[in-house]
Amino acid sequence: MIVATVLGGYAGGYYSKRINAALLRTIIIAFNFIITALFFVKTYVVTAS
């Protein structure tokens, strides 16, 4: 996993300099809210039921 994060980190750093910043921000915001919602469901709905 450590080797994989190095490869991913290097590739991400390389390609992110070529991506539109506003688009990048929108994608990240959407992704964050989706994952946050999933964690709420997992912790307070799935586990509780």
Helices (H) and strands (E) in the chain, counts: 2, 0
CA distance 12 to 15: 5
Nearer to other proteins by Cβ, of 14 and 49: the residue is: 14
Residues that bind other proteins (CB under 8 A): 1-17, 19, 21, 24-25, 28-29, 31-33, 35-36, 38-44, 46-47
Minimum Å gap between C-beta 49 and other proteins is: 13
Q: What angle do CA 15, 25, 19 make, to 5 degrees?
A: 25
Nearer to other proteins by Cβ, of 47 and 49: the residue is: 47
